[in-house]
Amino acid sequence: MNIDSKTQRTLNKFIPQLESMSKFGIAFLVILILIFFAGVYALYVQLTEGHIVTGMRDQVVWGLFIVNFIFFIGISYAGALISGILHLLRVPWRSPIIRMAEIITVVSTIIGPTYILLCVGRLDRVHHLLLFGRIQSPITWDVIAITTYLSGSIIFLYLATIRDFALLRDNPVKVARWRNWFYKVLSMGYSETPKQKEILARATDLLSIVIIPLAILVHSVLAWIFGMTLRPGWHSTIFAPYFVVAAVYSGTGVLILAMWVFRKVYKLESYITKIHFNYLGYILVMLGALYGYFTFSEYLTSWYGSIKWDMEVLHRLFDPSDYWWWFFFAAFIGVLLPIIIVTVPRFRNINSIAFASLIAVFALWVKRYLIIIPTLEAPLLPNHDLRPEFIHYSPTWVEWTLTVSGVGMFFLMFFLISKFIPIIPVMKISEEKDYNSLRKKVKERNLRRLMKQVRKSDTVNG
Amino acid sequence: MVHPFCNDLIATFKIENMQIHKQALEMGKVEDSQVNKEAGNSRRNFIRYSVAAGAGSLLGASLLTGKINAEESDGEKVKVLTTDGRLVEVEKGHLCCEPVSHEVARHGIGNKKMVMVIDLSKCRNARECVKGCQKMHYLPEDIEWIKLFLMRDNEDTGPYWFPKPCLHCNNPPCVKVCPVGATFKRSDGIVLIDNDRCIGCKFCMAACPYSSRVFNWKEPKIEPHELDKNYSPENSTPGKVGTVGKCDFCPDMVRQGKLPSCVTSCPNGVFYYGDENLDTVTNGSETLRFKKLLNDRTAYRFMEELGTEPSVYYLPPTNRLFDYKVGFNDISEEEIALYKKEARIED
């Protein structure tokens, strides 16, 4: 493959990021690995002593693990929906951020389902899902949906990276031998012939169309796990779209945070600009408003209907000694604050948009907690248990450690991937620049033609 | 090998056994053996054969389900005397002490349809049903398959004690959601759990609106010598760590022609258990016509509006034998306070 000078110049900027690691980077890596092993230890304790070491009991059968599961599947929407839709709509500013979005998708779709496994009482029997799988169960739907989604998003990321693999393979700058070998295998002989280019473009288009309904389905199925049960606070018809909207909201938030972090760490200021933050900020506002609307609609109807069991859940959410302040944060602050920060021009800058995203992401995690736990704490029958842990759920150190470990894994995998492929699609970026300069030329030519016409008409009139 | 259960069986199954044996012969599964003549020659033999006779009924019961695995047939054979005086050979695995296999346990017993009627007017929170159930199923003290609630529908109505086993719904929300078919509904109406298949996802627990299911959060501590039976989904014993347990409606007892221990241990005869198809239920001391009882006492099913169609019927707590306060006699202050709080009873 011929590498033109512009591409080479862009690539040269990214090679050091792949190859070298700063002291800070190494320290970060060590901490992440330590966090990972803390999680391994917590898992070992849980496996040897049984689920008794968690805060889950007969009433609250699902705890932090399921909350994290929904959360990670939620943020995976960054790549699937945002990048898929931006690609389909041919949004011109998308190029520097889509790779990040797609990596978020793949990494979080790997970590999310791990939490399901942590929640399963008999990890040694997980293969029963295949041996005895029943299609009637929403869990089976979930298994099918998530595996399809994960495969889809890996392929989507891969297709979007093939050109860069080829570029790195043919790059004259020397890189480690194992790297070269991997790039050679992964580029699958791609050499940018017009035919290859066309096939690749078509495949990427096709997949970005497929990935959108797939992503929507994954979170709908996830919502149905709760919606299909006869539980107050869960048994709701709007649960699927509600989950989808909440997921895209948190996904966009995580994407903005990733942009902010990588822009700082890898010094990508010239690629990821204020425009990207602003535009994604607008998307965030729109989604935040939608999420707020769904939340309002969900709780208004169940409050107005005032069925006894629904009220049990609502009382918990609105009781200041129970969940009120968390609910206030998740349903009010988490919606209004990002909207205010992004819509008021005075508050809007790169850092504040990143902060708004952080609030949104954290609020959405809390919201998932408030969807799962209060409902399980409000069974249809009275709870006469004398043991406080059977009435009120409080997560144990095992659950917190595994939660932190999962977040650490997210950073770790993201970090390792960013050391292997450039965090910004190099080929595409270089192309964009060409496109931009071309547009400039066209503009200038049109302007000159216009001038000529004006001059001509002047002479005729004069 | 000889089990105390077996002694009772001879009496309980006298009539049923003959029918079963006849049916078994018709199905061609059991060959009438020539050992008839040998029978009764010595006292010892007689005892052995008659002890084994009860087992014949069990064999018959499993034959009725039409499910005997070909693989099982090369097991050790045991000679069994039927009540009509003939001797047959059966597999050891079908004797009373050995519970039915996982496969057999999936299909239900004969053309039975097990039901329970709970008379709320007689309950006084004696908690004997809970203890009896725990003893029978080797449950630790903190796991209850029958739970006792103090119910009160609103501030103006009277409180009443409410024992609640698994309701064995005919439209069970738990069975629907199980991803591996570890919990299943049988032809005799019983909802069981196969603890060797359960993956412990707890979806059934979230789906059950009646809080009937409990989880084995830790390894149940049972000494092996305490157990007199192997695990089967029908006896649910011993519980397995990381899987779900619940009231199993005691199909193992049904096979032995006995009543579940909640029924027999209740001092007030609150629980009636029986077969809907035979239209009879019994609490051990009186046997009643099932449909007539439901009609006469205007029985109801708990939270019928959920559409789960339970197999457990409740007789309304009218003309109660005991004041609800009698139920506070044997329990701690702390517990009383909790009951009162949940039932919104003020002192």
Do A435 and A93 contact (CB within 8 A), yes or no? no
Judged against a pLDDT cut of 50, whether residue A97 lies above it is answered with: yes
B312: distance to nearest CA of chain A, Å?
16
The pLDDT-based confidence of B15 (bands split at 50, 70, 90) is very low
Q: Test B198 with A132 for CB contact under 8 angstroms.
A: no
Contacts of residue A381 in chain B, CB cutoff 8 Å? 147, 149, 164, 210-211
Distance CA A440, CA A437 (A): 5
- In CATH terms, the fold of domain B114-315 is Alpha-Beta Plaits (3.30.70)
Any B CB within 8 A of A417 CB:
no
Minimum distance, in Å, between the CA of residue B258 and any CA atom of chain A: 30
Q: What is the mean pLDDT of residues B56-81?
A: 48
Query: Chain B within 8 Å of A125 (Cβ-Cβ)?
Result: yes
By C-alpha distance, the chain B residue nearest A54 is B217
User: What structural domains and CATH numbers belong to chain A?
Assistant: 8-387+396-426 (1.20.1630.10)
Binary contact (A131, B180; C-beta < 8 A): yes
Task: Kindly indicate the confidence band of residue A457, based on its pLDDT and cuts at 50, 70 and 90.
Answer: confident
What residues of B are in contact with residue A385 (Cβ under 8 Å)?
Answer: 338
The answer, yes or no, to whether residue A96 has pLDDT greater than 60, is yes
Interface probe for B, chosen from A60, A119, A132 (most Cβ of B below 10 Å), is A132
Query: Is B199's CB within 8 Å of A122's CB?
Result: yes
A46 touches chain B (CB under 8 A): no
* Residues B96 and B52: beta-carbon distance below 8 Å: no
What is the interface pTM, i.e. ipTM, of the complex?
0.86
Helix (H, G, I), strand (E, B) or coil at A300: helix
CA angle, B334 then B336 then B339, to 5°: 110
> Could you state, in order of their start, the residue ranges of all structural domains in chain B?
4-98, 114-315
* DSSP state at residue A57: -
Question: What residues of chain B lie within 8 A of the CB of A50, using their CB?
Answer: 216-219, 241-242
pLDDT in tens, A173-182: 777 788 888 8
* Residues in A touching B244 (Cβ below 8 Å): 121
From chain B, pick out residues whose CB is under 8 angstroms from the CB of A386: 332, 334-335, 338
Query: For the stretch B256-281, what's the b/e string if a residue is b when 16 or more beta carbons lie within 10 angstroms of its beta carbon?
Result: bbbbbbbbbbbebebbbbbbbeeebb
pLDDT digit string, tens, across residues A7-41: 787 777 777 777 777 888 899 999 999 999 999 99
The SS3 call for residue B119 is: strand
| Beta bridge pairs of residue B300 | B314
Distance from CA of B28 to the nearest CA of A (A): 32
Alpha carbons B61 and B251: distance in angstroms, whole number: 11
Work out the pLDDT band at B97, boundaries 50, 70, 90: low
At how many degrees (to 10) do helices A95-119 and A138-169 cross?
A: 140
CA proximity to B205, closest of A368, A48, A63, A322: A63
Please tell me if residue A333 touches chain B, with a CB cutoff of 8 Å: no
Residue A60 · residue A377 · CB < 8 Å: yes
Judge contact between A105 and A157, C-beta under 8 A.
yes
Cβ neighbors of A128 (< 8 A, separation 6 or more) are B180, B182, B197, B199
Q: Mutate which of B147, B202, B340 to disrupt the A interface (most A C-beta within 10 Å)? A: B202
Q: CB of A184 within 8 Å of any CB in chain B?
A: no
> pLDDT digit string (tens) for B196-208?
999 999 999 999 9
Instruction: Name the pLDDT band for A53 (thresholds 50, 70, 90).
Output: very high
| Cα–Cα distance, A347 to A278 (Å, whole number) | 12
Distance from the Cα of A120 to chain B's closest Cα (Å) equals 5
Taking each helix axis from N to C end, the angle separating B14-26 and B4-12, rounded to the nearest 10 degrees, works out to 80
- Tens digit of pLDDT for each residue in B264-316? 999 999 999 999 999 999 999 999 999 999 999 999 999 999 999 999 999 99
Pick the residue of B201, B204, B247, B341 with the most A CBs within 10 A to test the interface with A by mutation: B201
Of the candidates A50, A382, A387, the beta carbon closest to that of B242 is on A50
- pLDDT tier at B21 (50, 70, 90 boundaries)? very low
Residues of chain A contacting B338 with CB distance shorter than 8 Å: 384-386
pLDDT: which is higher, A129 or A433: A129
Nearest CA in chain A to B200: A121
User: What phi and psi values does residue B33 have, to the nearest 5 degrees?
Assistant: -95, 165
Determine the residue among A45, A47, A61 to mutate to test chain B binding: the one whose Cβ has the most chain B Cβ atoms within 10 Å: A61
Q: Do A223 and A215 touch, CB atoms closer than 8 A?
A: no
Distance from CA of B208 to the nearest CA of A (A): 8
Q: Which residues pair with B162 in a beta bridge?
A: B149
pLDDT, position B283:
92
Interface test with B, best of A381, A389, A391 (most B CBs within 10 A): A381
Nearest to B251 by CA among B204, B291, B192: B192
Cα A172 to Cα A3: distance, rounded to the nearest angstrom: 9
Q: Of B45, B125, B130, which Cα lies nearest the Cα of B81?
A: B45
pTM over 0.90: no
Question: Of A134, A380, A386, which is closest to B209 when you measure between CB atoms?
Answer: A380
Considering only residues A269 and A308, tell me which one the structure prediction assigns the higher pLDDT.
Answer: A308
